[in-house]
Amino acid sequence: MSEHAIEITGLRKTYASSAGEPPKDALKGIDLTIPKGSIFGLLGPNGAGKSTLINILAGLVLKTTGQVRIWGFDQDVNPRQSRASIGVMPQELNLDPFFSPRNVLEVQAGLYGVPRSQRRSDEILAMIGLTDKANAYARTLSGGMRRRLLLGKALVHHPHILVLDEPTAGVDIELRNMLWTNVRKLNEQGMTIILTTHYLEEAEQMCDEIAIINHGEVVACDTTRALLGRLDTKTMVIEPETAVPEALQMPGGIEMCPRSDGTLAFNYNRTKVSAETVLKAVHDAGIRIKDVKTVEADLEDVFLSLTSSTA
């Protein structure tokens, strides 16, 4: 058995031309492996191809070429097993307005051939906090409740892999926390989680590994920690005791940027210049230091440096 939850090789998707639009190469040859048991983040700007990728995994969009293996099953050779291994919470709230949460879960269980004895609608309703709405029409549910129901729906067939497409876009903090608590719990129980998010901070906190996608290509794929370590630039911010002339000569490798709040930012490459060298240069320039702090690169910096260079 493969140790990968997902193995994607040479995946391409070209959407056919329609309404005068030219054909669109949404995925241009994606290679990606996602380890079992991880929380894996797919990041990328709007239109990067994240939903296309996820919808191919879910069997909702047909790939143009390439190979997709889900839990070791080739999508083309074992479509049923690969579909059974994955549950997807989609981006859109597509629910039948006249179905109750219990109906939705039961119908989905039926579609996936889950025998009655193995259904656990009550357990899922409790987990997503909809026990007391179990028999209400979906159209009477709030947006947040519908989103929770979509999470429940993705779980009815006990998938090994749970995929969430922008689960927290536009939701309030309470629902976001509830989603993440559930996701963490499911992951601790052994479920592999794949999610897309616009919120870099969220990816930084939640994900073990991250792939950054831009224009249909993977531009980076690494552990979150390694991605953050990739940016070599560091910034030291100094609050001077007294006002400082704008144009001060700094030694090579140190760039001084005065900020509007009166502080001075010094950018340097930490592998080439030590913090001590920066402090000495500041001292030699006659600047008296009132306060000092250093700023680490965050995922946003990594993201911007990767997605702007290939634009």
Which of 167, 230, 223, 231 shows the shortest CA–CA distance to 198?
167
Residue 238, SS3 per DSSP = strand
Tell me how far apart the alpha carbons of residues 98 and 148 are, in angstroms, rounded to a whole number.
17
Q: How far is the CB of 194 from Mg ion (least distance, A)?
A: 13
Instruction: For Mg ion, give the closer residue by CB, 14 or 81.
Output: 14
Which of 13, 102 has the CB closer to Mg ion?
13
- Counting contacts by CB under 5 A, is residue 192 touching Mg ion? no
Closer to Mg ion at the Cβ: 51 or 121? 51
Residues forming a β-bridge with 68: 8
Residue 15 binds which one of ligand ADP, Mg ion, none, with CB within 5 to 8 A depending on kind? ligand ADP
Q: 3-state DSSP call for residue 309?
A: helix
Q: How far is the CB of 70 from ligand ADP (least distance, A)?
A: 18
Measured in degrees and rounded to the nearest 5, phi and psi for residue 238 equal -120, 135
- Residue among 47, 51, 13, 5 at smallest CA distance from 30: 13
Segment lying near Mg ion (by CB under 5 A), choices 43-51, 102-110, 197-205, 263-271? 43-51
Q: What is the distance between the alpha carbons of residues 142 and 293, in angstroms, rounded to a whole number? A: 45
By the rule CB under 5 A, 52 interacts with Mg ion: no
Where do contacts with ligand ADP occur on this chain (CB under 6 A)? Answer: 15, 24, 26, 44, 46-52
Count of residues binding Mg ion (CB under 5 A)? 2
Structure tokens at 282: 């500041």
Our CB check for Mg ion shows the closer of 154 and 264 to be 154
CB-nearer residue toward ligand ADP: 17 or 118: 17
> Are 241 and 288 within 8 A, CB to CB?
yes
In angstroms, give the least distance from the CB of 91 to Mg ion.
5
Rounded to the nearest whole angstrom, what is the least distance from the CB of residue 165 to Mg ion in the complex? Answer: 6
Least spacing, CB of residue 46 vs ligand ADP, in Å: 5
- 227 closest CA partner among 39, 34, 29, 41: 41
Q: Is 75 in the site for Mg ion (CB under 5 A)?
A: no
Query: Quick check: 51 binds Mg ion (CB under 5 A)?
Result: yes
CB of 32 to ligand ADP, least distance (A): 14
Q: How far apart are the first and last CA of the chain?
A: 39
Nearest to 94 by CA among 40, 64, 139, 126: 139
Task: Catalog residues that contact Mg ion under the rule CB under 5 A.
Answer: 50-51
